[in-house]
Structure 1
Amino acid sequence: MDGVLVQGFNQLMYWVSWGLLLFSLCAFIDAAIRREDAYRAADKQNKPFWLIILGIAAAVNFFMGIFDFLPIIGLIATIVYFVDVRPALRQVSGGGRNWPRRRGSSSDGPYGPFNGR
């Protein structure tokens, strides 16, 4: 019975570590596609700083086990990016939920402007 519990716990930790890796990779990719001037406008360090921090967090999550201390620091950095930096960058750069933004008028239909006839 104890072997089954240990095996189940190890399996859970395996999936949690993959989840942390995916979370940190998503943050890294999101930081990479944001514009450099948005970081300065939001007053949130700069783009290379966040790319280095999030890249190290992803590498640590990939190479180290979840029970080490460094993946926890990487998780904290990733959470800070998603909770604090990313919303500020989205507000500054205008990237909302309706991305990609449409460039037409609000009265445009799917095949061109709507004239109301």
Structure 2
Amino acid sequence: MELALVTPAIWWLLLCTKVFALVDCVRRKPYDFEMAGTLPKNVWLIILPLAIFVDIIWRNPIGILPLAGTVAALVYLAQTRGSGY
């Protein structure tokens, strides 16, 4: 019974993380990505919505594709927000 409550909570948390990363990406200037030394903004604007789409379709936070999307969102956040640009 407890697992039935934990899995949706984890799914929502990870989905919110991906949406936060996408909103942050949309708001940043392309120059910020160059300064942070990460992928260009256009690439992130493809990866992050795909991650959200896969998450909504699978609705399972432990699947391989949703996990890959979560890793992508966390990498984005670490590289751009963590860089200070």
Query: What is the TM-score when the length of structure 1 is the normalising length?
Result: 0.65
**Runs of at least 5 residues in structure 2 that lack an aligned partner in the other structure:** none
Which of the pair has more CA radius of gyration? 1
Higher relative contact order (CA 8 A, sep 6+): 2
Q: Which runs of 4+ in 1 moved over 6 A?
A: none
Calculate percent identity across the aligned residue pairs. 26
Q: CA 1:38–1:67 in structure 2 vs 1: closer, same or farther (change >3 Å)?
A: closer
Q: Give, in whole Å, the separation in 1 of the partners of 2:2 and 2:33.
A: 43
Count of aligned pairs = 84
Q: Which of the residues 3, 15, 18 maps onto 1:21?
A: 15
Q: Secondary structure at the match of 1:37?
A: helix
| Structure 1: distance between partners of 2:21 and 2:37 | 18
Uncovered stretches (5+) of structure 1, i.e. residues with no partner: 1-6, 92-117
Give the Å deviation of 1:55: 1.0
TM-score by length of 2: 0.87
Counterpart in the other structure of 1:87: 82
Matches within 5 A, 1:54-65: 54-64=48-58, 65=60
C-alpha RMSD over aligned residues: 1.3
Structure whose residues are more often helix by fraction: 2
